[in-house]
Amino acid sequence: MRLGTGTRVRRPSRIAVALAAACVASASLHAQCPSPGDCRKPHGGTGCEMPQCCEIVCAINPLCCDLAWDEACAELAIEECEGINCPADGPCDAPHPTPGCADFECCDFVTTIDPWCSFASWDEICAREAERYCGVARCELPPLAGEAIDEAEPCYERLNDGWATGFAPGRLAPSCGDRFEGRIVSGGPRDTDWFAVDATAWRRVRARVEAEFPIELQLVLGDLEGPNEVRWLAPLGLCQGERVANFLVPPGVASLVLGAGDEDRPWRRALDCDEVDPDAPPPDPDDPPPLQVHGLRWRVAIDCLPIGDLDGDGAVTAADLGALLNAWGEVDPTAPIDPLGVDADLDGDGAVGASDLAALLSGW
């Protein structure tokens, strides 16, 4: 099942100091951070090229930023900056066997959302993440025209996470035409939001989704007891506007599931809760604020369509008839289901034929 899984095993950081330094505000604590020069080697100047490592070392030994980056400074960097690899050798948009890449801002962003790229290697997924997300400005959802239903879930709780292990089986229950808004955060346990789209007979649903983060959209068939089947995964890249998914729901229990992620993996970092949990307040009022790489907000509108409305325009017309005739014949059961494509098997019998034509014409 796609939910909550990834394609790589990650190694956690072993240095709390380095992680704390990653949350330092953008203004440098030391005028010499960053500066030219390899942090792990002595050089003639003060400071070094890795901002986070430079701050850590100079906080321990200010002479490294005030006098010279000598052997003692280099040894401190080797000891205290394990796992900090921004910037590093290698292009950000191409895979290479070492962690990190040459552009600091891009490297820092990608390693924040994907620690593998900092601790293991800059592999194909790291390079794709750099291409997708580096240089993309943070986006915010525009003001909403009309009312929306608030999901009413504090970001430190998990109330609408469906069949996710360890949670009460809560789902949002939309009626046709409802529009919801809410937030998703990363971290553990991973946050997802589930919408009940259960059906007593085959039905067609249109979901219009927009978010301030990359989304993955899934149709999960089955109830809490299982078995469950994920019918498709539809990604929406960062700041790409509204995604429209037009899909068939078979009879039974079905859920539309919204999470943060893309084709490669779910996002588990960088979308931190911006509320204080009263049952688990921060241990120190001077703790750094949550690290927000992108916004947390999403909007989802659920519409009910005539079952024969293949193009999702709200009516069954000649265009839908043409699309059904073009899809005539057997359906490949192994082919991935594209919610943006033509789903013309209206009765789910594995073929597009006379019964599907009758169903379409009944809604003309």
In this structure, the answer to whether residues 153 and 298 fall within a common structural domain is yes
Flag the least confident range among 48-62, 89-103, 128-142, 330-344.
330-344
* Residue 333, pLDDT score: 67
Instruction: Supply the angle between the helices 124-133 and 104-113 in degrees, to the nearest 10.
Output: 110
Per-residue pLDDT, averaged over 204-208, amounts to 91
In this structure, the answer to whether residues 186 and 261 fall within a common structural domain is yes
The answer as to whether 140 is a domain residue is no
Instruction: Supply the angle between the helices 318-326 and 354-362 in degrees, to the nearest 10.
Output: 170
* Residue 292, pLDDT score: 65
* Residue 210, pLDDT score: 92
Q: Under a CB-based contact definition with an 8 Å cutoff, are residues 83 and 69 in contact?
A: no
The answer as to whether 33 is a domain residue is yes
The answer as to whether 225 is a domain residue is yes
Average pLDDT, the chain: 83
In this structure, the answer to whether residues 298 and 343 fall within a common structural domain is no
Give the phi and the psi of residue 273 in degrees, each rounded to 5: -60, 135
The answer as to whether 313 is a domain residue is no
Per-residue pLDDT, averaged over 339-357, amounts to 81
Q: Under a CB-based contact definition with an 8 Å cutoff, are residues 323 and 344 in contact?
A: yes
* Residue 91, pLDDT score: 95
Radius of gyration of the chain (CA): 25
Per-residue pLDDT, averaged over 277-294, amounts to 71
Rounded distance between C-alpha atoms, residue 228 and residue 220, angstroms: 7
Secondary structure tally for the chain: helices H, strands E? 9, 11
* pLDDT tier for residue 27 given thresholds of 50, 70 and 90: very low
In this structure, the answer to whether residues 352 and 248 fall within a common structural domain is no
Q: Under a CB-based contact definition with an 8 Å cutoff, are residues 331 and 235 in contact?
A: no
The answer as to whether 158 is a domain residue is yes
* Residue whose C-alpha is closest to residue 273's, from 285, 290, 258, 256: 290
The answer as to whether 2 is a domain residue is no
* Residue 22, pLDDT score: 40
Instruction: Supply the angle between the helices 71-80 and 51-60 in degrees, to the nearest 10.
Output: 110
Per-residue pLDDT, averaged over 291-319, amounts to 87
* Residue 15, pLDDT score: 34
349 pLDDT more than 90: no
The answer as to whether 139 is a domain residue is no
In this structure, the answer to whether residues 293 and 328 fall within a common structural domain is no
* pLDDT tier for residue 137 given thresholds of 50, 70 and 90: confident
Q: What token pair was written down for 320? A: 């839908």
DSSP-based three-state secondary structure for 254: strand
Cα dihedral 91, 93, 94, 95 sign: positive
Q: What is the model's pTM? A: 0.78
Per-residue pLDDT, averaged over 145-161, amounts to 88
Q: For residue 75, is it left (φ>0), alpha (ψ between -120 and 50) or beta?
A: alpha
23 pLDDT more than 80: no
In this structure, the answer to whether residues 97 and 162 fall within a common structural domain is no
In this structure, the answer to whether residues 261 and 355 fall within a common structural domain is no
In this structure, the answer to whether residues 175 and 232 fall within a common structural domain is yes
| Number of folded domains that form the chain | 3
Domain containing residue 71: 16-133
Cα dihedral 330, 334, 340, 341 sign: negative
Per-residue pLDDT, averaged over 30-51, amounts to 87
* Residue 279, pLDDT score: 83
In this structure, the answer to whether residues 157 and 263 fall within a common structural domain is yes
- Domain of 245, CATH number, reads 2.60.120.380
| 160-169, 245-254, 345-354 — most confident range | 245-254
The answer as to whether 7 is a domain residue is no
In this structure, the answer to whether residues 241 and 186 fall within a common structural domain is yes
Neighbours of 313 (CB within 10 A): 13
Q: What is the largest CA-CA distance in the chain?
A: 84
Per-residue pLDDT, averaged over 74-90, amounts to 88
Beta pairing partners, 240? none
Per-residue pLDDT, averaged over 275-292, amounts to 72
In this structure, the answer to whether residues 62 and 125 fall within a common structural domain is yes
Query: Measured in whole angstroms, how far is the alpha carbon of residue 87 from the centre of its chain?
Result: 24
* pLDDT tier for residue 77 given thresholds of 50, 70 and 90: very high
How many angstroms separate the first and last alpha carbons of the chain?
37
In this structure, the answer to whether residues 196 and 291 fall within a common structural domain is yes
* pLDDT tier for residue 286 given thresholds of 50, 70 and 90: low
